Amino acid sequence: MQRHNEPSSALSQAAYERERLENLHPASWHNPQPAARYNLVVIGAGPAGLAAARGAVGLGAKVALIERNLLGGDCLNVGCVP
């Protein structure tokens, strides 16, 4: 059985980590030009912010979602999932 800290495990962990960061904060990301008005501005793209933004967009609102770090917040990045 392979141990968690063996080299191939570390390599696959690094590949996973690269893919995770590329999904949550793509290197090619550029902030969009802000619109003049929004119906809702959500600060923080953790589970609460993502749900609020998605729900509002589903109702037809124009939404700005502002995140200073990684999409997904604590739950996806440090808490529930990793």
Q: Which residues bind ligand FAD (CB under 6 A)?
A: 43-49, 66-69, 73-75, 78-80
Cα 81 to Cα 31: distance, rounded to the nearest angstrom: 27
Indicate the residue among 11 and 41 with the shorter CB distance to ligand FAD: 41
Contact call for residues 41 and 63 (beta carbons, < 8 A): yes
Closest residue to ligand FAD using C-beta atoms: 46
In whole angstroms, the minimum distance from the beta carbon of 1 to ligand FAD comes to 26
In whole angstroms, the minimum distance from the beta carbon of 38 to ligand FAD comes to 15
In whole angstroms, the minimum distance from the beta carbon of 40 to ligand FAD comes to 15
At residue 77's C-alpha, the angle toward residues 71 and 82, to 5°, is 140
Indicate the residue among 58 and 72 with the shorter CB distance to ligand FAD: 72
Q: Which residues pair with 40 in a beta bridge?
A: 63
Structure tokens, 60: 């037809």
